[in-house]
């Protein structure tokens, strides 16, 4: 089955003792004022915590999609300090913000395309946050994955809903899955991932996989392997390389029903 994911790279420009980002040509280097930033569409969120005044500017018409993080300088300008690059096939990535960890810092919650091709489509969740020094990916999960005739023997679709909650004194990423064949449900399950600050990631809470449904068991095992790989080889949003997605098996989790 063909895989489609584009990679990218980022460049840094070092001047004097400070590090400045050489922005993508599609990203402004600075905004003259808060008003100018807001008028241009830069969104104000505490992506570096309450102590740093920041805004986030995205270029929707790009693959990869450039995201600029702008810090307010002493003279009131907003100057680009970080650039992220997110795979965005068909310019479909969407960025929202959520105080996921309830620690005064907003995470970037990104919905973007995963596997895509003839009669195949996948949406993926990227959760990106600031660790105090750099932006890191805290979770990568499938949101939806469908493969349909004639690629598959039937129309299969895995739908995933997610939420963040506090349980046992820590934050959790809760995932609920539904798998259908020709619009009839053939599997349902839930996963819970706990926040691990040391690894800056949501990690799997061990649980038994019901072997009574071999199709669901196979898919869940693949998802578990993806999480383990990405924990060891996390997606770096500052570089934007798609190799971790391709190598992790993220785009293959529905192969038990998609590949004929």
Confidence of residue 23 (pLDDT cuts 50, 70, 90): low
* Phi and psi angles of residue 118, each rounded to the nearest 5 degrees, phi first: -65, 115
Taking the CA of residue 200 as centre, how many other CA atoms within 13 Å lie in the half-sphere pointing to its CB?
16
Q: Dump pLDDT digits (tens) for 35-45.
A: 999 999 999 99
Query: Over 80: is that where the pLDDT of 89 sits?
Result: yes
Q: How far apart are CA 116 and CA 225, in angstroms?
A: 21
Q: If you average pLDDT over residues 215-228, what whole number do you get?
A: 95
Across the chain, mean pLDDT equals: 89
Q: How far apart are CA 230 and CA 244, in angstroms?
A: 7
pLDDT, residue 260, reads 64
In angstroms and rounded to an integer, the radius of gyration of the C-alpha atoms of the chain is 20
Confidence of residue 14 (pLDDT cuts 50, 70, 90): very low
Query: Are the C-beta atoms of residues 254 and 147 closer than 8 Å to each other?
Result: yes
**Domain boundaries of the chain, sorted by first residue:** 12-258
């Amino acid at each position: 089955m063909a895989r489609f994911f584009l990679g990218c790279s980022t460049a840094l420009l070092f001047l004097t003792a400070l590090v400045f980002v050489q922005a993508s040509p599609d990203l402004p280097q600075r905004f003259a004022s808060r008003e100018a930033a807001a008028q241009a569409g830069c969104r104000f969120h505490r992506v570096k915590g309450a102590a740093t005044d920041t805004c986030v500017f995205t270029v929707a018409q790009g693959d990869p999609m450039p995201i600029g993080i702008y810090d307010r300088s002493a003279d009131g300008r907003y100057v680009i300090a970080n650039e992220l690059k997110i795979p965005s096939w068909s310019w479909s990535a969407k960025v929202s913000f959520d105080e996921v960890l309830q620690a005064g810092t907003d995470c970037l919650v990104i919905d973007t395309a995963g596997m895509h091709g003839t009669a195949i489509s996948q949406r993926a969740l990227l959760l990106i946050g600031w660790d105090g020094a750099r932006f890191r990916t805290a979770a990568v999960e499938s949101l939806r994955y469908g493969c349909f005739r004639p690629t598959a023997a039937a129309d299969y679709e895995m739908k995933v809903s997610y939420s963040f909650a506090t349980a046992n004194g820590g934050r959790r990423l809760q995932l609920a899955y539904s798998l259908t064949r020709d619009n009839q449900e053939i599997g349902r399950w839930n996963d819970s991932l706990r926040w691990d600050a040391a690894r800056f990631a949501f990690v799997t809470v061990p649980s038994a996989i019901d072997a009574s449904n071999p199709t669901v068991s196979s898919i869940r095992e693949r998802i578990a392997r993806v999480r383990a790989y990405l924990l060891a080889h996390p997606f770096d949003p500052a570089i934007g390389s798609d190799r971790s997605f391709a190598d992790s098996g993220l785009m293959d989790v529905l192969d038990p029903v998609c590949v004929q």
